[in-house]
Amino acid sequence: MPLKLVLRPDEKVIISGAVIKNGKNTIEFSVENQVPVLREKDILTEPEADTLCKKIYLLIQLMYIDEANLSTYHTKYWELIKTMVKAAPKTILLVDQINELIISNKYYQALKLARRLIEYEKEVLASYAKDK
């Protein structure tokens, strides 16, 4: 089934590793085959990955769009996951779910769950800042 995309003016999308930026007008198009697609709202850049959970998200994103370097991203991912579980043991159930998706090569679904890790991290950091 084709994936229908509507891009607003100047919106970006990554399709199979290519970054595409829309022009001045809204456009609608379909992606007819199975390729990695990420809308701008789901894209995290390296400079934005300034926390542990964001770095985990970035690595999953790279696994999804850059299959050529998969083993490098996997190695870094598993290192960060060990650190994550050690630092925040309460995340183990969510991390286990993400890990299962990673092992099954379901990177897009893993990205969705990794967003929840980022939200959890925000809550913890906000709570810590409030207590200071």
Q: Where are the alpha helices (DSSP H) in 5-104?
A: 52-65, 70-87, 92-103
Helix (H) or strand (E) holding 129: helix 107-131
Q: Which tokens in the block code for residue 57?
A: 């998200």
Provide the pLDDT for residue 124.
86
pLDDT in tens, 52-62: 999 999 999 99
Q: What integer pLDDT is reported at residue 132 of this predicted model?
A: 66
23: left (phi over 0), alpha (psi -120 to 50) or beta: beta
What pTM does this model have? 0.91
